[in-house]
Copies of this chain bind each other. A is one copy, B any other.
Amino acid sequence: MSHNTFGHLFRVTTWGESHGPSIGCVIDGCPPGIPLTEADIQPWLDRRKPGGSRFVTQRREADECRIVSGTFDDGEGPVTTGAPIAILIENTDQRSKDYGEIARAFRPGHADYTYQAKYGVRDHRGGGRSSARETACRVAAGAVARKVLGQDVAIRAGIVQIGPHRIEDDRIDFGAVEHNALFAANAEVVPAWAAYLDDIRKAGSSIGAVVAVEAVGVPAGWGAPLYGKLDGELASALMSINAAKGVEIGAGFESAALTGEQNADEMRLGDDGAPVFLSNKAGGVLGGISTGQPVTARVAFKPTSSILTLRRTITRDGTETDLRTKGRHDPCVGLRGVPVVEAMTACVLADAMLRQRGQTGWAFPSFSETQI
């Protein structure tokens, strides 16, 4: 993680502003020989892209990606070559509008003030670099990471809380996520949540959310103690998503109220002689290394900062003012966080897989290679 690049062996660099001509990413360190075309990436971008329902911003972007380097077709379709994969996405719906007020005043909850304080200059058009638009690049990179991980690792996320409404752990069903516009991880909550969110939207307000993610199929052994722990890497990757304010692994903050007896995931041997955990409070990570159980995490998203209610703020020339953020916005930015959480998880895991392979020589153990 270093400014606009993350990852160690599977490294992603992103660039671009909300209202610039384009955005993009460069993926370096990808293994060679992996079939890859835009068709592997576009579905994930389509899933993230705005304008898909009334619950997300009405900005309409085609979000068509183009791979402009790093693949080569030697007769059997394009495959990765080991060279950096550059992906470009044009910005097509940057409305030309009067940014006068936003250019002067700092929108509360946004990064306007901090960018100005840090850099002495800021691209105020649509949030510039701090816009959630950048997350399209993360999703594109995540699509490539999924190809690196292969079929054996499945990563799924969904909304498990929106405002005061929460899906209990034992009712989470990631299979429901693709079938509702709220990305809710349970089909039954959708009508009530939709009504709730409609009210929020009509009021010009916004609301926070929690996204849960799980990665199934990660073998035991990924992650690099002590400062490259799998959970530490996940924490920074997920916290780096726009509007994220908290990350927890496994039982997370609930762990604080557990006793050692409740928390320790006991072990037994399965029918095939392989280790079996009897619970997963650890969220699939012990000592920073994967256990072979599903890796589970949750990310808290704050409500969208752009709301219609007048808020008190100041301007860059040092006067007080009140500001109402008009424009096309998300009533619950967490919804759009779902594909991004998946993508960041995929990138972290692909990186961990390559690092594991680098240090030890194996990424996925065959049964006979199982190390215990």
Contacts and interface: CB of A to CB of B under 8 A. Distances in A.
A3 B32 contact: no
Contacts of A4: 26, 28, 83-84, 225-227
A25 B108 CA distance: 34
Interface string A215-236: 0000111111111110111111
Interface string A281-310: 111011111111000000011111111010
Interface stretch (A54-62, A174-182, A264-272): A264-272
A193 interface: no
Interface stretch (A37-45, A183-191, A313-321): A313-321
13 contacts: A2-B28, A6-B227, A14-B84, A15-B70, A32-B119, A109-B263, A114-B290, A206-B259, A248-B300, A258-B303, A264-B307, A357-B361, A361-B363
Contacts of A14: 84, 226
A4 B359 CA distance: 14
Contact of A117 (B128, B244, B289, B320): B289
A120 B255 contact: no
A363 B358 CA distance: 9
Given A81-B123, A113-B372, 11 more contacts: A13-B84, A16-B86, A24-B86, A72-B123, A109-B264, A134-B226, A232-B239, A246-B249, A246-B255, A259-B307, A268-B320
A244 B255 CA distance: 9
A11 interface: yes
Contacts of A161: 256-257
Contacts of A262: 303
Contact of A3 (B228, B239, B305): B228
A253 interface: yes
A267 B313 contact: yes
Interface in A327-356: 334, 354-356
Q: How many copies does the complex hold?
A: 4
B248 A15 contact: no
B236 A359 contact: no
B84 A232 contact: no
A371 interface: yes
Contacts of A316: 372
A210 to B, nearest CB: 5
A171 interface: no
A312 interface: yes
A20 interface: yes
B13 A28 contact: yes
Contacts of A265: 108-109
B354 A81 contact: no
A367 to B, nearest CB: 12
A354 B360 CA distance: 9
A46 to B, nearest CB: 23
B359 A31 contact: yes
A258 to B, nearest CB: 5
Residue from A84, A273, A285, A291 whose CB has the most chain B CB atoms within 10 Å: A84
A263 B309 CA distance: 12
A113 B236 contact: no
A46 B76 CA distance: 38
Residue from A14, A358, A363 whose CB has the most chain B CB atoms within 10 Å: A358
Residue from A74, A81, A119 whose CB has the most chain B CB atoms within 10 Å: A119
A208 interface: yes
A334 to B, nearest CB: 7
A29 B32 CA distance: 23
